[in-house]
Chains A and B, each alone.
Chain A
Amino acid sequence: MSTSSTSAMAPESQGRIRSDVSTVKGLRRVADNFYVRRVAKALFTVWVVSTIIFFLIRLLPGNPIEQYIARLIETQGMDYENARMQAAALFAIDLDAPLWKQYLDYLLNLLRGNLGVSITSPGTTVTSIIARFLPWTIFSVGIGLILSFTVGILLGLMMAYRREGLLDHILTIFASVVSSIPNYLIGILLVVWLGVQWKVLPIAQMRGTLSPGVTPSFTFAFLYDALFHAFLPIVTYVLTTVGTWMLSMKGSTIGTLGEDFVTVARARGLKDWRITTAYVGRNAALPLFTQLTIAIGFVVGGSFLIETIFQYQGIGYVLSGAIAARDYPVMQGVFLIITMSVIFANLLADFLYGWLDPRIKVG
């Protein structure tokens, strides 16, 4: 817009233009908002992931729909048409429609929470399977991560304060060893040692997510039982991740201790406890929140093996069953839900980080 044309306009139209400009500015402010940006990013990622899953299942050679059709024809003697219809129903997809229409239907189904029906247990929707098993994974992985993050940060802080001391040396060795053992190995070792050799834990009774007869309720007995069954997976998650937190926190704390503001806080005569928590601890833990977002992905992904080892019926257990039985709709749904929960956890960690570090919102 040239300035001459603007100045030639009638006053009222100028006013309208100004208000338009302020709406645009307002929109931009919303778009620049930290939380809005992060939510938009998360939604975008969910869309990208579901699109990738859609095309993977359909376009790759030997795609599961074709395979499923072939299997139906082979094992149940169905003709091609019937087999195709059944496959389409299972995947909640119209196979005759053009690809873009299939894709749109798929997205709309996703929005409605329709993920198709399981092959191995006909009549059960994938959504209901996820709704039944996912909470257990969130429960065990969540507690495991929170525990290991908290314990790791406290130990790391302690190690930095006592660095080069005996405690620091012992804990550093422990952390390095523990964080280099793969998660499934830790799981197996726990079963073998605690359950089979030393018999300190009733491994067989700990299988599953709840003991027979116990139903979800807000009672202490229920919580106790849930924790009893989740105990080994939680211990495994803690053991596999706590070493990394300890070492990161130790390094980060040593760096923070050298910062000017810590010396100034001492010069201001603050009490040691206040300096350790609000000045050193909080700043040292900040960069770890970025790592937390990565860890969530790893642990959820790792739950696949851990839940199988401990026979813990979470989403990872369902996934391994689905893979063994080639139950594609379930696999597709579980993959989707795992990636979505990782994205959601990242979002949560981002928000937490933004809340903890005031500098983030500006950047």
Chain B
Amino acid sequence: MTKGKLDWQMDEHQNGKAPLSLQNVHVSYATRRGKVQAVRNVTLDLHAGESLALIGESGSGKTTLGLAIVRLLPETAQISPGVILYRRDGREVDILKLDRNEMREFRWRDCAMVFQAALNAFNPVLKIWAQAWDTAKAHGWHDKEAVRRRLVELLEFVQLDPKRVIDAYPHELSGGMRQRVLLALSLLLNPQVLILDEPTTALDIITQRTIIKLLRKLKEDQGFTMIFISHDLAIAAELADRVATMYAGRIVELGASEDIFYRPRHPYTLGLIRAVPTVTGGFEQLFSIPGSPPDLIDLPSGCKFHPRCAFATDRCKLEEPELEEVGPGHTAACWHWRAVEEELQRNPLHRGVLSVLQAISFNAEEEAVS
């Protein structure tokens, strides 16, 4: 239906190079108590047309990483060392070296970020149209008619009635509607990369489903490149091609969605999957990772997960593991990933967990077909 109607940017000009490459990125916040090391040593390629899920507990640095890419961190934050390369139409720039105005132009046009809890995302005193027009003008698009047409198309795409929404003030729209308007607005300039930070948190189940369906359409029909931040594994399983698990500011496991959910090799990922509550299962199957995330100012030695890890040995307390290949296109940062593999053979993932993840994907496919 909507397919082909919008002139989506296709990524033919990349010559196989990733539109976004993070190399050795560190982010810290200066606080009274000391330096909060929110993101450490993140190296990551985002491929054209893929959707990558960032998962991890609260405070693991997911939002910080997203904000670093569009450089919207608070003044107390510092990105260094690190390189963030962005490529479009054969050009390559280091985002961290862009000047103020270049950065401004990069935002939304090249990379749009939809924020966590975006209920308050709109200026309360301007109508939706005015805010879309502001956005277009800021990027040198002055054809009012064309902007309006584009906005109408996008609002229809997110299943809103453009007539009702375009001249409404933000407070006249419900939270779910606002979230969809923001999603539509994020596509206005046809960005190459879309970062979605918890796009469904704080919404009711029905609205969550609608938004997930829309994102699925974006991914499957339009081949959008997305980074998708969530701590809901079911949603990640449903939308992501690849999954990156973050712990204490680092990516500790990265691989295809299938590999991560069926063949996790990092004890933390395994813990996250086992902690997914099953609808069918009783309480006895509920598992949670013992302990709590580490203090990011005063990090533990060695592997940052060792105080909570069932597989930990003395080596883990002394040396921090780097990401290493554990399968094709699948890396994990754990000294004992083979022990995790053996443990999974002895003690397979509970069918309940997998069926929940599967059931969700299945339902979504059915809905997508109908």
Instruction: Mark A residues whose CB is within 8 Å of B.
Output: 259-261, 263-272, 274, 278-279, 282-283, 286, 356-359, 362
Q: Quick one: closest B residue to A261, CB to CB?
A: B123
Chain B 87-129, CB within 8 Å of chain A: the 1/0 string?
0000000000000000011111100110101111111111100
CB neighbours (8 Å) of B10 from chain A are none
A154 to chain B, nearest CB (A): 19
Given contacts A268-B134, A283-B125, A362-B171, contact A259 B108 (CB under 8 A): no
Q: Quick one: closest A residue to B70, CB to CB?
A: A267
Say yes or no: is B72 at the interface (Cβ < 8 Å to chain A).
yes
* B120 adjacent to A267 (CB under 8 Å): no
Say yes or no: is B142 at the interface (Cβ < 8 Å to chain A).
no
B276 to chain A, nearest CB (A): 30
* B169 adjacent to A359 (CB under 8 Å): yes
Instruction: Mark B residues whose CB is within 8 Å of A.
Output: 70, 72, 104-109, 112-113, 115, 117-127, 134-135, 138-139, 169, 171-172, 182, 185
Can you list 29 A-B pairs, Cβ within 8 angstroms, ordered by A?
A259-B120, A260-B118, A260-B119, A260-B120, A261-B121, A261-B123, A264-B121, A264-B122, A265-B134, A267-B72, A267-B107, A267-B112, A268-B108, A268-B135, A268-B138, A268-B185, A269-B105, A269-B135, A270-B104, A270-B134, A270-B135, A274-B134, A274-B138, A278-B134, A279-B123, A357-B124, A359-B169, A362-B171, A362-B172
B235 to chain A, nearest CB (A): 22
CA distance A82 to B67 in the complex (A): 87
CA distance A265 to B134 in the complex (A): 9
CA distance A240 to B134 in the complex (A): 38
* B108 adjacent to A269 (CB under 8 Å): yes
CB neighbours (8 Å) of A358 from chain B are 124-125, 127, 169, 171
CA distance A278 to B121 in the complex (A): 15
Given contacts A263-B115, A274-B138, contact A269 B106 (CB under 8 A): yes
Apart from A282-B125, A357-B124, what are 14 other A-B pairs with CB-CB below 8 Å? A260-B117, A260-B119, A260-B120, A261-B122, A261-B123, A264-B182, A267-B108, A268-B107, A269-B105, A270-B134, A270-B135, A283-B125, A358-B124, A359-B171
B32 to chain A, nearest CB (A): 15
* A263 adjacent to B138 (CB under 8 Å): no
CB neighbours (8 Å) of B126 from chain A are 278
B203 to chain A, nearest CB (A): 15
CA distance A357 to B170 in the complex (A): 12
* B121 adjacent to A269 (CB under 8 Å): no
Q: Quick one: closest B residue to A260, CB to CB?
A: B120
CB neighbours (8 Å) of B139 from chain A are 269
CA distance A43 to B226 in the complex (A): 59
* B125 adjacent to A269 (CB under 8 Å): no
Q: Quick one: closest B residue to A361, CB to CB?
A: B169
B113 to chain A, nearest CB (A): 5
CB neighbours (8 Å) of A263 from chain B are 72, 115
CA distance A239 to B117 in the complex (A): 43
B166 to chain A, nearest CB (A): 15
CA distance A263 to B63 in the complex (A): 13
* B169 adjacent to A265 (CB under 8 Å): no
* A286 adjacent to B125 (CB under 8 Å): yes
Q: Quick one: closest B residue to A270, CB to CB?
A: B138
CB neighbours (8 Å) of A268 from chain B are 107-108, 112, 134-135, 138, 185
CB neighbours (8 Å) of A357 from chain B are 124-125
Interface centre among B72, B106, B138 (most CB of A within 10 A): B138
CB neighbours (8 Å) of A356 from chain B are 125
CB neighbours (8 Å) of B124 from chain A are 261, 283, 357-359
CB neighbours (8 Å) of B104 from chain A are 269-272
* A269 adjacent to B120 (CB under 8 Å): no
A273 to chain B, nearest CB (A): 10
Q: Quick one: closest B residue to A259, CB to CB?
A: B120
A278 to chain B, nearest CB (A): 7
* A269 adjacent to B107 (CB under 8 Å): yes
CB neighbours (8 Å) of B122 from chain A are 261, 264
CA distance A270 to B122 in the complex (A): 13
A34 to chain B, nearest CB (A): 14
Q: Quick one: closest A residue to B100, CB to CB?
A: A272
* B118 adjacent to A264 (CB under 8 Å): yes
* A266 adjacent to B118 (CB under 8 Å): no
A279 to chain B, nearest CB (A): 5
